[in-house]
Amino acid sequence: VHMSSPEPISLGLAIAGAAASALTGIISYPRLYCYFRECCLHRHDRRAAAALQESLDEKLFGQHLVSKVVVKAVRGFLNNTNAKKPLALSLHGWTGTGKNFVSKIVAESIYKRGLQSKYVHQFVATLHFPHAHSINLYKDQLQSWIRGNVSICPRSLFIFDEMDKMHAGLIDSIKPFLDYYELLDGVSYRQAIFIFLSNAGAEKITEVALDFWRNGRTREDIQLTDIQNALSVSVFNNKNSGFWHSTLIDRNLIDYFIPFLPLEYRHVKMCVRVEIESRGYTVDEDIVSRIADEMTYFPREERIYSDKGCKTVDAKLDYYYDF
Contact of 30 with 39, CB cutoff 8 Å: yes
Give pLDDT tens digits for 106-131: 999 999 899 999 999 999 999 999 99
Helix extents (H) in 153-252: 175-178, 202-214, 224-236, 247-250
- 297-298/305-306 β-pairing: antiparallel
Q: Is the pLDDT of residue 15 over 80?
A: no
Angstrom distance (rounded) from CA 88 to CA 207 = 25
Q: Per residue in 268-292, pLDDT tens?
A: 999 999 999 999 999 999 999 999 9
Query: Which pLDDT band, with edges at 50, 70 and 90, does 22 fall under?
Result: very low
Of the chain, the percentage scoring pLDDT greater than 70 comes to 88
Answer whether 307's CB lies under 8 Å from 298's CB.
yes
User: Residues with Cβ < 8 Å from 273, sequence gap 6 or more?
Assistant: 283, 288
d(CA 95, CA 106): 19
Confidence of residue 25 (pLDDT cuts 50, 70, 90): very low
Ranked by mean pLDDT, the top range of 45-54, 224-233, 236-245 is 224-233
Give the range among 47-51, 308-312, 315-319 with minimum mean pLDDT.
Answer: 47-51
**Largest Cα span, the chain:** 100
Q: Would you list which residues are annotated within the binding site for ATP?
A: 93-100
Q: Could you tell me the pLDDT band of residue 238, with boundaries at 50, 70 and 90?
A: confident
What's the confidence (pLDDT) of residue 17?
Answer: 54
Nearest in space to 98 (alpha carbons), one of 248, 285, 274, 233:
274
Residue 257 and residue 234 in contact, taking contact as beta carbons nearer than 8 Å: no
In the annotated binding site, the residues are 93-100
Give the separation between CA 36 and CA 52, rounded to whole angstroms. 23
Indicate the pTM of the whole model.
0.86
The set of residues, in sequence order, having a beta carbon less than 8 Å from that of 289 and lying 6+ positions away, is: 269
Q: What is the DSSP letter of 131?
A: -
pLDDT band of residue 26 (cuts 50, 70, 90) is very low
Share the mean pLDDT of the chain.
88
pLDDT at 50: 86
Question: Which long-range contacts does 125-130 make (Cβ < 8 Å, 24+ apart)?
Answer: 125/160, 125/161, 125/162, 125/163, 125/165, 125/166, 125/167, 125/242, 126/162, 126/165, 129/166, 129/167, 129/170
Q: Is the pLDDT of residue 7 over 90?
A: no
Cβ atoms within 10 Å, residue 30: 10
Tens digits of per-residue pLDDT, 189-237?
999 999 999 999 999 999 999 999 999 999 999 999 999 888 999 998 8
Write down the H helix ranges in 29-98. 30-36, 45-59, 64-79
DSSP 8-class letter at 320: H
Report the C-alpha dihedral over residues 270, 273, 279, 283, rounded to 10 degrees: -170
Question: Residue 297 pairs with which residues in a beta bridge?
Answer: 306
